[in-house]
Amino acid sequence: MFIDEARILVSSGRGGDGVVHFRHEKYVPRGGPDGGDGGKGGDVIIAVRQGLGTLAHLRHNAHYRAKDGRNGGRQDKTGRSGDDVVIDVPPGTLVLDASDDSLLGDLVGSEERLQVCRGGRGGRGNARYATSRNQAPRMAERGEPGQERRLKLELRLLADVGIVGVPNAGKSTLLAAVSNARPKVADYPFTTLEPNLGVVDLDDGTTLVLADIPGLIEGAHRGAGLGAGFLRHVTRTRGLIHLIDGSAADPLADFSQINAELALFDPGLADKPQVLAINKVDLPEVVERLQSLTSAFGKLGHKPYAISALAQTGLRPLLTAAYDAVSQVRPRQEAGEVPVYRPKADPDQFEIRREMDGAWRVAGEAIERAADMTYWEYDEALHRFQRLMTRLGIEQALRQAGAKAGDTVRIGGHELEWRD
């Protein structure tokens, strides 16, 4: 089954907790702190794997989660890092953030990898807090929470030349005649329900990768017929073979319609070189009108090739012309292909609001992360968190908002009592 779009939820691992521990050895009455750090949480990585042709393997698993880091141990032992999750995708996959469709990466090369979620940092053990003034710290950090993201993956086939045309123009027959591809061929519209790739070996040892693009009818850019889903595969190609059905009622109208759909979907497609071919010259009625069709397309600036995909005549000159047309063309860099840096909001920013039950809600990236990493059972950790609230200006903001002693303050999943 050809699947060229998938939506998945990915989560990186949480960092392991640092520990509070003191060295206990005979004849060492003051061994000092030796609590180790927690291990780093696993990352989520999207990686290209050669041999994959679709995203069908992702339809059975909608959530990918990396392993958490292990907790630290005594004797300054650092916890084991969590295993990464590597999600394999075929070459030509676009990775987008599903929340706003922003491009995270365009994976084309055979060895490309993209980290989409970073694993949480391991919490620091109490050995890391020892100073000359505090030689026995009773505090540590919990591991940093992992990240979570919803992704949209889109596959765009990598081909040198795309074969476009109205349904039943003979695109699949042409692909089967010149390559090792074996697409379904029948005499009814929309025989081809998915794009097909084929490799053509030319006489001089060079190869040409062709893609049969189905579903191009009037309104395809808006989703008519097989929809705009397959049109995106044309954007990767360096050129097009525009196949005209010589037996159609109005071949010139078909030609204009397909070009209009390509331009409406992506204006850049109009700049791709096109090689025009009039198919089905094995039929007597097509032979009779061939001269008039050639003259009509000539007035539009095109020199069409007369071929019969079924009888396999006239194919070599067409393929040679297609190769010559695209050999000097570099793949067009799509808008947004290289992710653009966008400044993120200051993580120290926060928002205070009153909830329905009268409690205060403090929301902010830095303060919520700090709350998750705090050991609430240790006084030193509480004092450290209090200093952070003061430094970020949260304490003053709560007072100005009207917080009073005894009020409930919620930060992330934690509930505190306000004491002024």
* pLDDT > 50? residue 335: no
Identify the pLDDT of residue 340.
46
Q: Are 288 and 253 in contact (CB under 8 A)?
A: no
Which stretches of 113-261 are assigned E, i.e. beta strand?
113-117, 148-155, 161-164, 196-201, 207-212, 239-245
Residue 382's H or E segment, with its range, is helix 379-392
- Model pLDDT for residues 21-63, shown as the tens digit of each residue: 998 888 877 788 999 999 999 999 999 988 777 788 887 888 9
Give the residue from 344, 162, 133 showing the smallest Cα distance to 235. 162
Average pLDDT over residues 262-283: 84
Partnered with residue 210 across adjacent β-strands are 161, 198
393 confidence band (pLDDT: 50, 70, 90): very high
Q: What pTM was computed for the model?
A: 0.71
Give the pair of three-digit tokens for residue 296: 């009509």
Domains detected in the chain: 1-155 (2.70.210.12), 161-327 (3.40.50.300), 351-417 (3.30.300.350)
| Helix 251-265 / helix 284-299 crossing angle, nearest 10 deg | 50
| CA dist., res. 280 & res. 237, Å (int) | 25
> 392 — phi, psi (to 5°)?
-80, -10
| CA dist., res. 322 & res. 3, Å (int) | 28
Average pLDDT over residues 127-135: 90
Average pLDDT over residues 277-281: 91
Count other C-beta atoms under 10 Å from residue 239's C-beta: 21
Count other C-beta atoms under 10 Å from residue 420's C-beta: 10
The highest-confidence range among 81-95, 101-115, 174-188, 260-274, by mean pLDDT, is 81-95
